[in-house]
Homo-oligomer: A and B are copies of this chain.
Amino acid sequence: MATRCSTYQLECRAGEARRGTLSLPHGDVQTPAFMPVGTGGSVKGLTPEEVEEAGADMLLANTYHLWVRPGHELIRDLGGLHKVMKWHRPILTDSGGFQVFSFGDKARVKEEGVYFRSNIDGQWRMLTPELAVEIQEALGVDVAMALDECIEHDADRRRTKESTERTTRWLKRCLEARQQPESTALFGIVQGGFHPDLREAHAQELCALDLDGYAVGGLSVGESQEEMFGMLDVSLKHLPAHKARYLMGVGYPDDIVGAAARGIDMFDCVMPTRLARFGVLFTPNGRLALKHARFRDDPRPIDSDCACYTCRSFSRAYLRHLHMTKEVLAPRLLTIHNLTFYQQLMKRLRNAITEGSVAVQELLQETRGWRDQYSEETEER
Contact = CB atoms under 8 A, between A and B. Distances in A.
A44 B331 CA distance: 12
A315 interface: yes
Nearest to A326: B40
A41 B40 CA distance: 29
A332 B322 contact: no
B84 A322 contact: no
Contact of A78 (B47, B299, B327): B299
B47 A321 contact: no
A85 interface: yes
Given A299-B78, A328-B331, A332-B328, A315 B84 contact: yes
Contact of A297 (B74, B321, B322, B327): B74
Interface string A314-328: 110110111011011
Interface in A41-77: 41-42, 44-47, 65, 69-70, 74, 77
Interface in A326-351: 327-329, 331-333
A70 B317 contact: yes
Contacts of A78: 297, 299, 315, 317-318
29 contacts: A40-B321, A40-B325, A41-B322, A42-B329, A44-B327, A44-B329, A45-B45, A45-B328, A45-B329, A47-B309, A47-B313, A47-B333, A65-B325, A69-B324, A70-B296, A70-B320, A70-B324, A74-B296, A74-B297, A74-B317, A77-B297, A78-B297, A78-B299, A78-B317, A85-B318, A86-B313, A86-B314, A328-B331, A332-B332
Given A45-B328, A70-B324, 9 more contacts: A41-B327, A44-B328, A47-B309, A69-B321, A74-B317, A84-B315, A86-B314, A328-B328, A328-B332
Interface of A: 40-42, 44-47, 65, 69-70, 74, 77-79, 84-86, 296-297, 299, 309, 313-315, 317-318, 320-322, 324-325, 327-329, 331-333
